Amino acid sequence: MDRDILDFTKSISFDKRLAPYDIEGSIAYAQMLGKCKIISKKEKDLLVKGLRSLKERIGRIPLENNEDIHTAVINLLRKEIGKTADKLHLGRSRNDQVVLDLRLYCKDEVKQVIEKIKKLQRSLWERAKDWRGLTIPFYTHLKNAQFILFAHQFLAYIGMLERDKGRLGDVFKRMDIMPLGSGAGRGSGLPLDRFYLAKKLNFSQVSENSLDSVSDRDFVIEFLSTLAILSMHLSRISEDFILFCSDEFGFIEGDDSHFTGSSILPHKKNPDPLELIRGYTGKMYGNLISVLVMMKGLPLSYNRDMQLDKPPLFDSLDIIKDSLNILEKIVSKLKVNKENLKRASSNEFIFATDIAEFLVTQGYSWQEAHNLTGKLVLESIRKKKPLKEMSDKELKKIIPELTQELILDFLDPLKSVRRIKTYGGSGPESVENQIKHWGKILR
Amino acid sequence: MDRDILDFTKSISFDKRLAPYDIEGSIAYAQMLGKCKIISKKEKDLLVKGLRSLKERIGRIPLENNEDIHTAVINLLRKEIGKTADKLHLGRSRNDQVVLDLRLYCKDEVKQVIEKIKKLQRSLWERAKDWRGLTIPFYTHLKNAQFILFAHQFLAYIGMLERDKGRLGDVFKRMDIMPLGSGAGRGSGLPLDRFYLAKKLNFSQVSENSLDSVSDRDFVIEFLSTLAILSMHLSRISEDFILFCSDEFGFIEGDDSHFTGSSILPHKKNPDPLELIRGYTGKMYGNLISVLVMMKGLPLSYNRDMQLDKPPLFDSLDIIKDSLNILEKIVSKLKVNKENLKRASSNEFIFATDIAEFLVTQGYSWQEAHNLTGKLVLESIRKKKPLKEMSDKELKKIIPELTQELILDFLDPLKSVRRIKTYGGSGPESVENQIKHWGKILR
Amino acid sequence: MDRDILDFTKSISFDKRLAPYDIEGSIAYAQMLGKCKIISKKEKDLLVKGLRSLKERIGRIPLENNEDIHTAVINLLRKEIGKTADKLHLGRSRNDQVVLDLRLYCKDEVKQVIEKIKKLQRSLWERAKDWRGLTIPFYTHLKNAQFILFAHQFLAYIGMLERDKGRLGDVFKRMDIMPLGSGAGRGSGLPLDRFYLAKKLNFSQVSENSLDSVSDRDFVIEFLSTLAILSMHLSRISEDFILFCSDEFGFIEGDDSHFTGSSILPHKKNPDPLELIRGYTGKMYGNLISVLVMMKGLPLSYNRDMQLDKPPLFDSLDIIKDSLNILEKIVSKLKVNKENLKRASSNEFIFATDIAEFLVTQGYSWQEAHNLTGKLVLESIRKKKPLKEMSDKELKKIIPELTQELILDFLDPLKSVRRIKTYGGSGPESVENQIKHWGKILR
Amino acid sequence: MDRDILDFTKSISFDKRLAPYDIEGSIAYAQMLGKCKIISKKEKDLLVKGLRSLKERIGRIPLENNEDIHTAVINLLRKEIGKTADKLHLGRSRNDQVVLDLRLYCKDEVKQVIEKIKKLQRSLWERAKDWRGLTIPFYTHLKNAQFILFAHQFLAYIGMLERDKGRLGDVFKRMDIMPLGSGAGRGSGLPLDRFYLAKKLNFSQVSENSLDSVSDRDFVIEFLSTLAILSMHLSRISEDFILFCSDEFGFIEGDDSHFTGSSILPHKKNPDPLELIRGYTGKMYGNLISVLVMMKGLPLSYNRDMQLDKPPLFDSLDIIKDSLNILEKIVSKLKVNKENLKRASSNEFIFATDIAEFLVTQGYSWQEAHNLTGKLVLESIRKKKPLKEMSDKELKKIIPELTQELILDFLDPLKSVRRIKTYGGSGPESVENQIKHWGKILR
């Protein structure tokens, strides 16, 4: 075999990550071969013992000389127990073996990602609790819309992440299918007990068609897609935080040990880790696309192209786990700048919608209420007189129902949010309920 | 407003597709406003009646003059029932309204796509039944691997598509959440009964956070991702069929009314529709990417960018429904060319793996069995003598267990598949079971 | 032919856009056939006359009944001049014809896009000229870095767009190759004069290999890629403007007729068109990906998949031309808010880098200069005393070279930018030179 | 700084690849500082000497402890020559330094990729020369179209690759711009001679706007896009070869040392490396998308996200250079199976188009010629009598111009290609010309 081509086709540099799963699968396979009398009890015991010993040590053995992880494991086992090792070839092909390894790996990873999401949610929840009394404008079109409780925004993030967990749970179901026994693609002439294998390896189902079993990488793509959406969520949270950290917004501040400072401006802190989390979204999308493209138009069954499903998957998992860790750290020490939040509430016109809503409850039609409030705002601008300085007379000339007292009431952000009544809204009661709800779930 | 900018920001050219859902949502909203005494019973009745009448007619009304479908519906309603129409603005914003419309639409579409998949599965199942007695090589690396029953390949396709249905079912759960009552993003000061709305509109849940409700487009992306995977499956099936239709393979043939002929070669039939199905995968991936990119790094809550979630979604749904229809048609009339299938079984060396497997059952180690079979094949090539013509003596010199009779047995594709014993494999029993299994599911 | 399949494979709904190019190509083809004596002069004259007449009218003729634009043109021509129309089939195939049409179309579109970029550059240049005397912080990590002339940022945009023009010019070269005469893929037995065709159709080259000619869609992908990068630039400019329009930044303001107002807050203007320009980047990327994916792994030569190159191309061109138009409009009427720009210069610490740079010119090492400036900043924070209020004594205690007068000098944004000396930097001289430079180019 | 966050933000694991370029840039920078009297001659000499010594050794020094390559180089230099090393900070920022390094790196890589393409073209050209006398069907819709010279297909590949070289040359122009002296984004107060730097570093231009200089990553995206198209070409060539290697086509064969064999079937050779080349297209597209997405909507100027431009770029370059190497190797030893090529010419109906073309030269209209040929083909099928066995009488009954002798002539693939007359077509003369043309270019 040509040296360069061998190097080009080798997968050991990345699939060595599957080593523990490959051994785990082989142990179960040996046990099944024994149970089905395809090999003797003695052979089975020898195989299992050798594999278990190998599992302990494999992390410390250089594997680079092998073509792939499956060959590496057999070669090492042969060194340990002799040619009985080759009995593992009976009825098994690399085509079904690699799918098994990958499914075992993915199932583990799903659980880890879910745990990390949960940890991040908990930190967000802590902030929501801390800042339940603070108000902040929420933004549409990056313009101030109306006031909300700051907690409400963090609760929104928690909800976004909860959907990610739901998706991961669904992907898990389609990973949880045992492919071994499909051979190269048509099954085997040996009486392999695939249900026994599934039980041993903790799978809830056995695959139903051998050809499909070795051709299917849906679960990889679905995983990558789920992680891409999760990453999009992290990019949005990061964007919000980057904005809120800017000199112009100034609502929040990261910890000194988290944000990159400058030797000149010790207090100047750049939100570098947040920018990287946002930037990594590109890679996450790219990894998804790369496997989708690789699978496009491939005839059944196994094609060597499919070996390339692993690097993007491994990369996306490394990125997302790091990103979740880092974001959790940052959120856990996020500080709020109350002064700047207060300054943000000085824009009287944010409250115009509140006034219009009030007028509607006073019997005005929606259109009238909007028109009248618009007039009031224009008057304030024209006269260069803030609303709160307008006299009862001036107010009533435009809207008879208004008084200065009422206006002062309207211009209070906390009173503004207290008027919210809907389930899931940013009213104090709803926010308290949300906090309680998540408190139970994230316990 | 500048004319060009108005045209640039208008969404009516595509969101008019949401008209029935927008009206349906408005009817429920009017009923809720009435039920909560926010409007009078008379107003409620007027609104509902007007909307119902509009629903009948809207398909025939040109809507292009309006900015978007929500404005179009209100404008038409105002023409019909006067300014009571504006009561629908109470507590509702376009931000939550558009999400409602889109969720209603998506839920409907999921069901339609599932139905179409099912229909295609049924046609594939018919072919599997018809061709259960035929053998065909299965392919790894596009090289002949071993023989399978032709039915087995079609059953693989059915299984692939079944996963698509599973994914669609999961996406549906996350679509089935009622957002109305979130207003522009913080809820409303009016006592809107969101649970009543959910019931009326047949949603199983109410959204938990108003800010998230108007910012979330996960369900669109998830839908597009699911459709992208489905489309990848269709591209693989198409690729198989295109190969099988080629002059060199010649295993199957499309119906004259399905494949494009030539005026010179009436029997020459190009698999154009299959190529288009394969090619559309590009668009399906592109549409997925376009919404992922659009959402990347967007701050909460609503941004106008999000309007652009619709064209890719609508496009992908049109493509996938067409592709499923067309592929179903083609499969339903697919013909097999038995002569060419027979020719494909003349390659004796496909059976080498069978011989090796037989030797293993005779007590040879896996490695010995492989080596001996390799030798036999080489001998046949060296002597330019087909295996089936080798005498007992010639055979036994290499492998004592072999006889000419045995070899002739091995060279029979049907006998080859009959040796397969595993669950989910391509053995006749397993294939029969699969056919029965799907017969029940696809009934 | 099955009705549904016919509809599925038809391309007339989108390729009708190529009508004028198809006719133009056919006119040249007829002339060449005449010149090469493949048809008679009379036939040639009849064809040319018929095609010219058709070119006038085709915009008003419904074409939807035809399969594609090529058939449509021939059918209409046959109606006009009888069966001489079919002479156009001599030596020509739809495979080479569609590439010709597409190349003609693309060449035209490149020119249009370049014109629109130029127009946008001119508007940006007007703003640069108007605002050359204003200062603004530039941003790294969305944090204030140092002061620049506002003009410098607009000149950066102009430079970005100039690269786009360069790329378009390069793509043009690879479009400018005449494919006709390649037939279905192997050329023709007729003595077609391809160089004559190139001359007539204003191509600078003739394609060198017939098989490649009908298989190649590089120019479409390259065009889409160039447009995707251009769109990325527009997304960055839009993002800057959206930020600068936010209540918190408040540096610039869009025209009332450009930004979407609210009935309540007539002065509240949402930058919707900018958000859409930013959001469309998703579609632009998606369109690029869709054609890349479609072409992946296609065997030579023509496959029907390739028909799907057109919808993404047309869509991207529509989007980019609209986006350029709209952005140009917005820029042409952009207003600056000088008060807010002034406020942005109140952050004394932005100037710290200036102080450090000054110290370096005074002989301090880079590290000392940074450390000392850092100390000064800390002292100001510790004492809650702005730099400009610190006495000479206080200043000199930390940095002997400093005086209050000097500090006041440093805290002047205009003086800050005047210290910049490098070519291409934001110093007034460099900015003037840039303005002059672009003034000449964009004339 | 938090350990995990430090690890997350570090770039040394990948940007160490830029080490030689970083040092090269620093040498030039030191020389320029000396030349401009910003540092003394002695300092300049010390810096240059230290950097040159470091350049020799850096490949053997572990760098992982540093944050990035720029810091690593300064730290190592400081160890070597003391704090004079910090003089390199004067007027320089990591923002402009990293762009310089990346531009130097990219320029080198472009040249390498072009060299590798050229080598592959040469091998393809050798095959074209060898196989100029052989005929093969060309394919549209993967169906036999007509016969071409096998060389013609290889010449098509050469032409595709030539366009890639053209694109790379164009990208090079936009890489060849010197950014140093842009500082963090606004230039510097020091009188840096940027033109001197450009000359020293072999750049043909100096960047025109400092803000754009540090914000621009167009050249990375453009490079990735160019490589993505190149990779698409390789995927198409690979697909052709995989098809041609299949048992059913069997036109060509890879070398034993290139294709993966089986222990059982020593002659069975799987085209694994070709499948990987095809599969890698996914990664190449993904890498392109990841940088496009990362840049979308980023405000000016530098954001930390932009650090993530490197891993996809490096990955794509590794993949493409490997793929070009491997494909060149394979092509250089490709064998043709003449027997199977002959078998492929037994399908008489491929020649039908030739007959129709002949009839047109005999004065038949295009439509008549097609109809008559169609009739002839049908008659042959109906009678189950090959064309070549039909008597003169039988032939003439349908087409008076035909004789058996003529038909035998038509059924000769070589004679078929000899009838091709067009420039760039697959006629022997055109093919010879193409071979000569490329022979000169690829010398």
Contact C152, C193 (CB under 8 A): no
CB–CB of A194 and B423 under 8 A? Answer: yes
Q: Rounded to a whole number, what is the distance in Å from the CA of B108 to chain D's nearest CA?
A: 32
Kindly list the catalytic residues of B. Answer: 141, 262
Q: Does domain D344-442 have CATH number 3.40.50.1370?
A: no
CATH superfamily of the domain spanning D95-133+161-193+200-336 = Fumarase/aspartase (Central domain) (1.20.200.10)
* pLDDT for C257: 92
Peptide bond between residue C301 and the one before it cis (omega within 30 degrees of 0): yes
- How much is the ipTM here? 0.96
* pLDDT for C317: 98
* pLDDT for C260: 81
Q: Rounded to a whole number, what is the distance in Å from the CA of B410 to chain A's nearest CA?
A: 13
Find all residues with CB under 8 Å of B36, minimum gap 6, and list them.
Answer: B190, B191, B192, B193, B196
CA angle C294, C298, C303 (to 5 degrees): 85
> Which amino acid, D333?
K
Q: Catalytic: which of D13, D40, D204, D262?
A: D262
Alpha-carbon distances, residue B96 vs A365, B207, D313 (angstroms) = 21, 11, 41
CB–CB of D142 and B271 under 8 A? Answer: yes
* pLDDT for C268: 74
* C241, C244, C250, C252 alpha-carbon torsion, rounded to 10°: -40
Find all residues with CB under 8 Å of D254, minimum gap 6, and list them.
Answer: D241, D245, D269, D271, D274, D330, D333, D334, D335
* Residue range C95-142, pLDDT digits in tens: 999 999 999 999 999 999 999 999 999 999 999 999 999 999 999 999
Contact D321, D111 (CB under 8 A): no
Whether this prediction's pTM lies above 0.95 is answered by yes
Nearest of D174, D200, D192, D183 to residue D25 by alpha carbon: D200
CB–CB of A288 and D283 under 8 A? Answer: no
Reading chain B (443 residues) residue by residue, the pLDDT tens digits are 899 999 999 999 999 999 999 999 999 999 999 999 999 999 999 999 999 999 999 999 999 999 999 999 999 999 999 999 999 999 999 999 999 999 999 999 999 999 999 999 999 999 999 999 999 999 999 999 999 999 999 999 999 999 999 999 999 999 999 999 999 999 999 999 999 999 999 999 999 999 999 999 999 999 999 999 999 999 999 999 999 999 999 999 999 999 987 766 766 789 999 999 999 999 999 999 999 999 999 999 999 999 999 999 999 999 999 999 999 999 999 999 999 999 888 888 888 888 888 898 888 888 889 889 989 988 888 899 998 899 999 999 999 989 999 999 889 999 999 999 999 999 999 999 999 999 999 98
Contact D396, C166 (CB under 8 A): no
pLDDT at C381 over 90: no
Nearest of A353, A347, A391, A348 to residue A372 by alpha carbon: A353
Nearest of C304, A171, A307 to residue B272 by alpha carbon: C304
**Which residues of chain D have a CB within 8 Å of the CB of B378?**
266
Average pLDDT over residues C162-190: 97
Q: Catalytic: which of C204, C246, C262, C365?
A: C262
B412: Cα within 13 Å, side-chain hemisphere: 10
* pLDDT for C1: 87
Nearest of B232, B236, B231 to residue B142 by alpha carbon: B236
Is B273 exposed, middle or buried (CB count within 10 Å of its CB: 0-12, 13-18, 19+)? buried
CB–CB of C283 and B326 under 8 A? Answer: no
Angstrom distance (rounded) from CA D121 to CA D118: 5
Kindly list the catalytic residues of A. Answer: 141, 262
pLDDT at C262 over 80: no
In DSSP terms, which residues pair with B253 in a beta bridge? B335
Q: Rounded to a whole number, what is the distance in Å from the CA of C422 to chain D's nearest CA?
A: 6
Both tokens of residue A229?
């959406």
CA angle D141, D142, D148 (to 5 degrees): 105
Alpha-carbon distances, residue C418 vs A427, C135, C409, C431, C436 (angstroms) = 52, 11, 11, 11, 18
Residue where the block lists tokens 């029953």: B149
Closest Cβ–Cβ partner in B2, B305, B329 for C4: B329
Q: What subunits make at least 3 CB pairs under 8 angstroms with C?
A: A, B, D
Instruction: Give the gyration radius of chain D's Cα atoms.
Output: 30
Parts of chain D belonging to CATH 1.10.275.10: 3-90
Say which CATH architecture domain A3-90 belongs to.
Orthogonal Bundle (1.10)
DSSP state of C136: E
**Which residues of chain C have a CB within 8 Å of the CB of D83?**
365, 367
Q: Rounded to a whole number, what is the distance in Å from the CA of B251 to chain A's nearest CA?
A: 15
Contact D164, D284 (CB under 8 A): no
CB–CB of C272 and B9 under 8 A? Answer: yes
Alpha-carbon distances, residue C5 vs A36, B157, C1, C84, D92 (angstroms) = 52, 22, 7, 30, 64
CB–CB of A210 and B424 under 8 A? Answer: yes
Peptide bond between residue D301 and the one before it cis (omega within 30 degrees of 0): yes
**Which residues of chain A have a CB within 8 Å of the CB of D1?**
257, 260
CB–CB of A263 and C370 under 8 A? Answer: yes
Angstrom distance (rounded) from CA B90 to CA B68: 19
Both tokens of residue D133?
């006398």
* Residue range A275-296, pLDDT digits in tens: 999 999 999 999 999 999 999 9
* pLDDT for A266: 63
CB–CB of C242 and A378 under 8 A? Answer: no
Contact A154, A327 (CB under 8 A): no
**Which residues of chain D have a CB within 8 Å of the CB of B297?**
296-297
Q: What subunits make at least 3 CB pairs under 8 angstroms with D?
A: A, B, C
Find all residues with CB under 8 Å of C260, minimum gap 6, and list them.
Answer: B1, B9, C269, C270, C272
Nearest of B367, B283, B380, B353 to residue B322 by alpha carbon: B283
What pLDDT band is residue C346 in, cutting at 50, 70 and 90? confident
**Which residues of chain B have a CB within 8 Å of the CB of C260?**
1, 9
**Which residues of chain A have a CB within 8 Å of the CB of B362?**
none
State the alpha helices, DSSP H only, in A246-301: 272-295
Interface A-B: count of C-beta contacts within 8 A: 340
Q: Rounded to a whole number, what is the distance in Å from the CA of C322 to chain B's nearest CA?
A: 7
Closest Cβ–Cβ partner in B275, B293, B353 for D296: B293
Contact D440, D162 (CB under 8 A): no
Residue in chain D nearest A322 by alpha carbon: D8
In DSSP terms, which residues pair with C1 in a beta bridge? none
Parts of chain D belonging to CATH 1.20.200.10: 95-133+161-193+200-336
Q: For B141-239, where are the E strands, in sequence order? A: 143-149, 177-178, 205-206
Is C70 noted as a catalytic residue in this protein? no
Residues of C contacting chain B (CB within 8 angstroms): 1-2, 4-5, 8-9, 255, 257-258, 260, 270, 272-273, 275-276, 278-283, 285-295, 303-308, 311-312, 322, 325-326, 329-330
Beta carbons within 10 angstroms of residue D250's beta carbon = 16
CB–CB of D303 and A260 under 8 A? Answer: no
Closest Cβ–Cβ partner in A264, A353, A374 for C266: A374
Closest Cβ–Cβ partner in B174, B236, B301 for A166: B174
Nearest of D327, D380, D431 to residue D118 by alpha carbon: D327
CB–CB of B294 and C281 under 8 A? Answer: yes
CB–CB of A434 and B189 under 8 A? Answer: no
Beta carbons within 10 angstroms of residue A339's beta carbon = 9
Residue where the block lists tokens 């033109």: D195
Q: For B173-277, where are the E strands, in sequence order? A: 177-178, 205-206, 252-253
**Which residues of chain C have a CB within 8 Å of the CB of A261?**
none
pLDDT at A180 over 80: yes
DSSP state of A38: S
Low-confidence ranges of chain D (pLDDT < 50): none
Q: What subunits make at least 3 CB pairs under 8 angstroms with B?
A: A, C, D
Q: Estimate to the nearest angstrom the gap between the alpha carbon of B231 and the chain centroid.
A: 6
Angstrom distance (rounded) from CA C365 to CA C388: 25
Helix (H, G, I), strand (E, B) or coil at D288: helix
**Which residues of chain A have a CB within 8 Å of the CB of B298?**
236, 239
* pLDDT for B267: 64
Element (H, E) at D177: strand D177-178
Residues of C contacting chain A (CB within 8 angstroms): 137, 140-144, 242-243, 245-249, 263-268, 270-272, 275, 289, 292-293, 296-297, 344, 347, 349, 352-353, 356, 367, 370-371, 373-374, 377-378, 381
Residues of A contacting chain D (CB within 8 angstroms): 1-2, 4-5, 8-9, 255, 257-258, 260, 270, 272-273, 275-276, 278-283, 285-295, 303-308, 311-312, 322, 325-326, 329-330
Both tokens of residue B383?
């002597």
Q: Rounded to a whole number, what is the distance in Å from the CA of C65 to chain D's nearest CA?
A: 21
Angstrom distance (rounded) from CA D160 to CA C411: 59
CB–CB of D299 and C239 under 8 A? Answer: yes
Angstrom distance (rounded) from CA D422 to CA C181: 7
CB–CB of C272 and B304 under 8 A? Answer: yes
- Concatenating the DSSP letter of every residue in A165-202 gives HHHHHHHHHHH-EE-TT-TTTT--SS---HHHHHHHTT
Both tokens of residue D248?
């059913």
CB–CB of A218 and B297 under 8 A? Answer: no
Average pLDDT over residues C187-203: 96
* pLDDT for D267: 64
Q: What subunits make at least 3 CB pairs under 8 angstroms with A?
A: B, C, D
pLDDT at A363 over 90: no
Find all residues with CB under 8 Å of C278, minimum gap 6, and list them.
Answer: B305, C234, C235, C238, C239, C242, D296, D297
* Residue range C291-313, pLDDT digits in tens: 999 999 999 999 999 999 999 99
CB–CB of B272 and D141 under 8 A? Answer: yes
CB–CB of C275 and B312 under 8 A? Answer: no
* pLDDT for C263: 66
* pLDDT for A209: 98
